[in-house]
Amino acid sequence: MGAPGRLLHAVLTGALGSGKRTLASRIVKQVPLQKFSSGDLLQDNLLRDTEFGVLAKIFMDQGRLIPDDIMTRLTLQELKSSPRGSWLLSGFPRTLRQAEALDRVYHIHLAMNLDVPIEVIRQRLSARWIHPSSGRVYNLEFNPPRAVGVDDLTGKPLVQREDDRPETLAKRLEAYEDQTKRALDYYRG
Ligand SMILES: Nc1nc2c(ncn2[C@@H]2O[C@H](COP(=O)(O)OP(=O)(O)O)[C@@H](O)[C@H]2O)c(=O)[nH]1
Ligand SMILES: Nc1ncnc2c1ncn2[C@@H]1O[C@H](COP(=O)(O)OP(=O)(O)O)[C@@H](O)[C@H]1O
């Protein structure tokens, strides 16, 4: 859909906590792309208590991926509403089926993957704090908030995500090993 010189459709993959959202936020400060993050999209639905959010929470609390058909529908709906047309998508696709579904609708010009060792991920997630309503991400060591425990822009409290707890984390890492790597192989191909 469109020539690469005018439109850019890029995806950013990588394990949970590899830094997709942090990097995406930095890229869009310099490149005129609209940023979409599957995690932020879900978080927004959770906060607004939408039907989708209620359903998604069941899977997220167990450290499981949201079923492909639901996640794909939600993401494509968001992309369609993108006023710029050029976008950077992080956290989607996360499975081979999601990658194939995205490909049926859009030509992807660029796929980037963040390859971060598991031990580093564990360390990062234990220090990750977020501002739930905006999705802004902090880390106590790497990019701490200006004032302890509060968001830089709104001054509202930061929280740690429930699914960053070690028990849920182990399951999410399994899902990554099982499924997300296949999406990566798809783009390598
Ligand atoms: N040390 C370090 N921490 C990072 C880096 N990028 C992101 N982080 C931190 O790692 C955690 C996970 O990053 P996030 O962007 O939420 O990852 P995502 O789950 O892949 O979207 C957050 O606490 C970030 O602040 C990096 O390059 N170095
Ligand atoms: N593309 C996706 N497909 C299925 N589930 C997803 C997808 N993106 C996010 N999720 C769900 O949302 C949870 C949180 O995702 P996210 O906020 O991106 O955090 P992280 O990158 O730390 O896993 C995942 O554990 C999963 O349950």
Q: Give the ipTM.
A: 0.91
Count Cα neighbours of 189 within 13 Å in the Cβ-side half-sphere: 9
- Among the listed residues 97, 124, 128, 136, the single catalytic one is 128
Pick left, alpha or beta for residue 85 (phi over 0 → left; psi -120 to 50 → alpha; otherwise beta).
Answer: left
Q: For residue 99, give the ligand nearest its CA.
A: 2
Mark whether 128 is an active-site residue: yes
Mark whether 104 is an active-site residue: no
| C-beta of 113 in contact with ligand 1 (< 6 A) | no
* Domain 9-116+166-188: which CATH number of 3.40.640.10, 3.10.20.30, 3.40.1280.10, 3.40.50.300: 3.40.50.300
Determine the atom of ligand 1 nearest the C-alpha atom of 14.
20
| C-beta of 42 in contact with ligand 1 (< 6 A) | no
**What confidence tens digit (pLDDT) does each residue in 54-80 have?**
999 999 888 888 999 999 999 999 998
| C-beta of 172 in contact with ligand 1 (< 6 A) | no
Q: Residue ranges per domain, the chain?
A: 9-116+166-188
CA–centroid distance, 17 to ligand 1, in Å, is 5
CA distances from 164 to 16, 19, 124, 167, 173 (A): 10, 14, 10, 8, 11
pLDDT per residue rounded down to tens, the chain (189 residues): 444 457 899 999 988 899 999 999 999 999 989 999 998 899 889 989 999 899 999 998 888 889 999 999 999 999 988 777 899 999 999 999 999 999 999 999 999 999 999 899 989 998 999 998 888 999 999 999 999 999 999 999 999 988 888 778 888 888 787 777 788 888 888
| C-beta of 19 in contact with ligand 1 (< 6 A) | yes
> Residue 157 corresponds to which tokens in the numbers above?
């409290």
Q: How many CB atoms lie within 10 A of CB 42?
A: 21
Would you state the pLDDT for residue 63? 81
178 exposure class (CB count in 10 Å sphere: 0-12, 13-18, 19+): exposed
| C-beta of 60 in contact with ligand 2 (< 6 A) | yes
CA–centroid distance, 18 to ligand 1, in Å, is 6
Determine the atom of ligand 2 nearest the C-alpha atom of 90.
18
- Among the listed residues 57, 64, 122, 161, the single catalytic one is 161
pTM of full prediction above 0.90? no
